[in-house]
Structure 1
Amino acid sequence: MSQQAVNTIEQRFSELHKKTSPEVWNSADELIKVSQQLEEEDIYLARRVMQRVRILQPKRPKIKAELKRLSDLVALHAKQTQISSSTEKNTTTEPTKTTKTTKTAKPNSVNVFSKKLSDNPNIKSWTKPWVLLLLVPFILFAFYQLVWAAPRFESRAQLIIQQPDGMATMDPSMALLSGLGVGGNSTADSEIAKAYIHSEDMLNYLQTHNNIKEHYQNGGDVFSRLSSDASIEDLLKYYVDHTTVEIDEASGVIKILAQGFTPEFANNLTKTIVNRAEWYINSIGHQLAEAQLKFIRLEHAKVEQRLRDAQKSTLAFQQKNNLLDPEAEGLALQQITYGLEGQIASKSAQLKGLQLTMTNKAPQVVMLQAELDALKTQLEQERSRLSAQQGINDSNTKNGEAAVSEVLAQYSDLKIELELALKGYTSSEVSLDKARIEAYRQLKYLVVVESATLAQDNKYPNSLYNILLFAVLQLMLFGIGKIVLATAKELR
């Protein structure tokens, strides 16, 4: 811009200063309004006013951007003015000069055209960074999603784990004893089934029966198929990514979604998963029940053997001592002893009465004395049978015969052992019944709610969703990059 034009702008700026009140001239907000009003009439003066605003508030937001915009408008206006003046100048030249110019315009027109072509904003826009960062990757990704990406089909199956209803076939007291009325943790069972479906054991079974590795390596496109040198860990990860297991916490329904590059393979894969999961759930229930029952049965067998040993010992003791009930035998001996003592007391009283009136050699006194001696001898024998030790040789006891007190003591020990064994056997029977009930409770069955479906249309890739998501991510990253660059320029 020439010095004369600058002086003219400053002159108009000074005149505006004189016409404007000090309140407006010293207010940045008011000057911005003045600049906006002058933008259509005098772009140069509007830019000069905006420079005044920048001086008043250099840290005002967006002031630099607004000033740059006005500068671009000034440059554009100056360029248009220059083009229009050159056009008018060319139209006023002489005819001879015009003809001469026409003769030499051919080579220059090529240069002018190439210059215009290079200055064309449409041509320059293709080389801008945003085109390389946004448009080219977007076109490549859209081409892959719409043309190149291999379709993947999905088969669906729904399962639920159920337990038998033991309340319907059980006595209420036994149901309370076993706690059968309390519901089980179905969510945990569903999580166990999900973990097994995504386990390496299931992968090995599927590899044996469906050869999923070959299908995943040969199907699909170069980006979606499994690599040819994939390890077992890579195959497991690929299998888990393409097999979804969803659990509805409210109903406990397990939904299996298996993907394949053909609908037939996806259907067969889902069927195999369902059959294997059903076998696994049933097997773990039976294994737990059999293990618990086996332990309880072994313990019950021990208690039963103890009872039988106690019964045999009691029977052998009874046969050895020729006694059916030693306690009754001891009670009978006690009654005999008490009877003999009563008779002795009675005979002693009679003897004393006779001795008061008769001599000791009188027949009645001698006879009564003999009876009294016999009763005392018999009493001693009966008492010896009750309390004498084993092996005592007596005229009225057998050699090696145990005393009744010792027999009763041994029989009491055997009887206590028999009672304890009987009580233990009764408790073991109850425990065994309860274990059977618990084993019945632990049995679980995998019920198929929906069989494996055969897809007609591919569900993946979801091209429209993927393209829109890719575009949104691109714009987000590009915007973040622009902000970072602008911040870096601002801090310089």
Structure 2
Amino acid sequence: MSATYIHTQRKAGFSQIVIRFLAILYFIALAASIVYLWLFTQDRFISTAEFKISQQDASGVTTGLVQLALPGLSDSGSLDSQVAIGYINSADLLLELEKNFDLVKHYTSPKTDYFFRLKSNANLEERLEYYRNRILAHYDKDTGMTIITVDTFNPELSKKIATKLLKNAEEFINVINQQIAEQQLSFVNSEMERTATRVEELNKELITLQNEHNFINPDEVISASLQAVQEMKLDLLRSETEMSSIQRDSPNSPRLETLRSHIRSVNELIDIESAKLSGPEKDRMNQLLLQFKQLALKIDFATRLRTGAETMLEKNRVDAVARSKFFTVIQTPYLPEDIAIPRRPYATVAIIILGLMLFLILRALTHSIFERA
């Protein structure tokens, strides 16, 4: 028997010993994982809640209520649900839950469950990551519902946290609703107030102008003045005609002087009234009429703006109601009675089957390698 053959046999024998030792360690690890699963893993309880965010149908309240009762028909889409999910996963809410329910103490309490408990010295980022693996919310696009799941070591705590999340999510959606409606109405409301103030200021300016010149409508004053001037001109014409007739028939009649005096007076009155009607001065009737007309146009324009703003405000109020989101609770949190995690029998069978499959694969690979060596 050659030395080479003896060396090869010794090498193969040593390899078989190593492989058997590793196999024993492998099965010890499988057995240890099963023992850990049954003896050391802490029981976990999951409580769930479901809600739906819907929107009022613009076609009417009755249709909206019918659609609200049927999943997917009046669903406002996954965007609103993603907003709610983002809020549930936010650090602010998780830290509030940590404070209210003393989550650090709870999740670090199972001292024997090393792999699934929270480290006692975990920093903020590690705690948030741990909470987000235990407190979840996801959107089901088939039903249009958002599902909250809370996983803790205590069934009562799971229910309390799920109830708190549901309540906070509803309050958050209502606040968002209110903020959006207020933002939509704020500008239109301020514009309506501005136009109403402008109309009030212009009306005060009109009253001041009327009080200053002691009349309400310059058109009426001008019409009356023109009529008076016209009557005086007719009177002047009659007086001049009469004076011409007397001068022709009775040149020495004492009535001529009376007529001359009357004609001078009428001419003076005509000049005075005509001067009031027009001229460059600000107190002339044509200048006042222009001021009144311009002010009336401003008042009319401002009134139209106010009416438009009021119409727009009412329209925005109706639209805000039509765009309102409705938070509907489909399933309230319940008190779990069964252990959700771990499912020990199923997990044990899975460990054994997968462990054996992996062992056979590794064994085949090992033999293949040694046969080629």
Would you say same fold, with TM above 0.5?
A: yes
Q: Which structure ranks higher in relative contact order (CA pairs < 8 Å, sequence separation ≥ 6)?
A: 2
Q: Which residue of 2 aligns with 1:102?
A: none
Verify the 8 A CA contact 1:288 1:442 in the aligned structure 2: no
Q: Which residue of 2 aligns with 1:303?
A: 195
3-state DSSP of counterpart to 2:108? helix
Q: 2:33 aligns with which of 130, 137, 141?
A: 141
Summarize the Cα distance change of 1:465–1:337 in structure 2 as closer, same or farther, 3 Å threshold: farther
Q: Which residue of 2 aligns with 1:407?
A: 288
3-state DSSP of counterpart to 1:227? coil
Q: Which residue of 2 aligns with 1:380?
A: 271
1:434 has 2:333 as partner: no
Summarize the Cα distance change of 1:369–1:142 in structure 2 as closer, same or farther, 3 Å threshold: same
**Separation in 1, partners of 2:370, 2:249:** 151
1:449 has 2:340 as partner: no
* Aligned amino acid, residue 468 of structure 1: A
Summarize the Cα distance change of 1:258–1:288 in structure 2 as closer, same or farther, 3 Å threshold: same
3-state DSSP of counterpart to 2:224? helix
Summarize the Cα distance change of 1:202–1:351 in structure 2 as closer, same or farther, 3 Å threshold: same
Verify the 8 A CA contact 2:46 2:340 in the aligned structure 1: yes
* Aligned amino acid, residue 170 of structure 2: E
- The TM-score, its normalising length taken from structure 2, stands at 0.76
Question: 1:431-463: per-residue Cα shift (whole Å, max 9, x none)?
Answer: 332343344345434222111111111111244
Written as runs of structure 1 = structure 2, the 5 A alignment for 1:145-224 is 145-163=37-55, 168=60, 185-219=76-110, 221-224=113-116
Where in structure 2 are there 5+ consecutive unaligned residues? 2-11, 63-73
Q: Which residue of 1 aligns with 2:215?
A: 323
3-state DSSP of counterpart to 1:218? coil
Q: Which residue of 2 aligns with 1:419?
A: 300
Structure 1 or 2, whichever has the larger Rg, is 1
Summarize the Cα distance change of 1:312–1:488 in structure 2 as closer, same or farther, 3 Å threshold: farther
- The TM-score, its normalising length taken from structure 1, stands at 0.59
Summarize the Cα distance change of 1:378–1:263 in structure 2 as closer, same or farther, 3 Å threshold: same
1:333 has 2:215 as partner: no
Q: Which moved more, 1:133-142 or 1:204-213?
A: 133-142
* Aligned amino acid, residue 350 of structure 2: L
Where in structure 1 are there 5+ consecutive unaligned residues? 2-117, 171-182, 392-401
Q: Which moved more, 1:414-423 or 1:429-438?
A: 429-438
Summarize the Cα distance change of 1:429–1:475 in structure 2 as closer, same or farther, 3 Å threshold: same
Question: 1:231-262: per-residue Cα shift (whole Å, max 9, x none)?
Answer: 12111111111122122224422111111112
1:460 has 2:341 as partner: yes
* Aligned amino acid, residue 317 of structure 1: L
Verify the 8 A CA contact 1:354 1:365 in the aligned structure 2: no
Summarize the Cα distance change of 1:133–1:334 in structure 2 as closer, same or farther, 3 Å threshold: farther
* Aligned amino acid, residue 297 of structure 2: I
Verify the 8 A CA contact 1:267 1:452 in the aligned structure 2: yes
**Separation in 2, partners of 1:442, 1:210:** 36
